[in-house]
Amino acid sequence: MGAPVMLEVDSVRKALDVRGAWLDVLDSVSLSASDGDWVTVIGPSGCGKTTLLRIIAGLLEPDDGNVFVNGECKHRLGSAALLPQSDTLLPWRTAVDNAVLASEIAGIPRATALAEATRLFERFGLSGFETMYPWQLSGGMQQRVALMRTFLSGRAILLLDEPLGALDPLTRASMQDWLLAVWNELRKTIVLVTHDVEEAVVLSDRLVVLTPRPARVLSEWSFEDLPRPRSRGDLAFMRRRAEILAVLLGGTA
Ligand SMILES: Nc1ncnc2c1ncn2[C@@H]1O[C@H](COP(=O)(O)OP(=O)(O)OP(=O)(O)O)[C@@H](O)[C@H]1O
Ligand SMILES: [Mg+2]
């Protein structure tokens, strides 16, 4: 409904060469996102989630199937910004210089990028920390700088690979609320990978659950009937979380 489909992953297959042996990683994975959608991908460790994001980003080509961005298949490199799993900031760059890194690489003039970054430092709760080095920031703040860098890349699609995975549960919950507020304001299309079912239900419009490797889509969920902001203690919320967990643990839809 509404916005046209911006991202379409259609029956993507991928095998990777692991020490000379071919390993089937993705077995016909499909998903789609409209402009401004938040789609989350969840699945067992090692099932192929990072591989899927790398394919969407254009860093890897599928063996079979296609990825379309705005209906375009061949020239998608540059449409999506990938925040890699366990990404770290460059220790010799200040927070603001880390934040503008992706913009620099994308060729956005430094003055433009710095002006935009300065505006976002306030929105990301980092005012006053612009000239600090990563070691002077808490883990949550470092992760916000990395997220800001991804938002500042100028790309329409953000691929976030377990961006909150390393944080303690309290920081993580407040970062989820904050990330939702930022997304509400900036309205990017997001594909989030997480291991956390609660995080998926708090944040996304839809969830794609993958099987163990080679990944196939085990089930898909829509949370459009759960109005935002979603309360983690709400009965409908807890019921949905329990249903998804049962599917994940049982391995059947
Ligand atoms: N560059 C690579 N070359 C060869 N094999 C790889 C490569 N990257 C990943 N693999 C293998 O492909 C499989 C899928 O890896 P991937 O990183 O996509 O899984 P994942 O779902 O993101 O796992 P996790 O939840 O632990 O992050 C793994 O079994 C891994 O060993
Ligand atoms: Mg991964």
Distance CA 33, CA 224 (A): 14
Residue whose CA is at the smallest distance from ligand 1 atom 18:
48
pLDDT in tens, the chain (253 residues): 456 679 999 999 999 998 899 999 999 999 999 999 999 999 999 999 999 999 999 999 999 999 999 888 866 778 899 998 877 899 999 999 999 988 888 888 889 888 888 888 888 889 999 999 999 998 889 988 999 999 888 888 999 999 998 888 888 888 898 899 889 888 899 999 999 999 999 999 999 999 999 999 999 999 999 998 898 999 999 999 999 999 988 866 5
pTM: 0.92
| Ligand 1 pocket residues where CB is under 6 Å | 16, 18, 23, 25, 43, 45-51, 85, 213
Which residue bears the tokens 């430092």? 121
Give pLDDT, residue 120: 86
Domain ranges of the chain: 1-79+156-253, 86-155
Residue nearest to atom 9 of ligand 1 (CA): 51
Q: Contact 204/174 with Cβ under 8 angstroms?
A: no
d(CA 242, CA 231): 15
Question: In the chain, what's the furthest Cα-to-Cα distance?
Answer: 52
CATH architecture, domain 1-79+156-253: 3-Layer(aba) Sandwich (3.40)
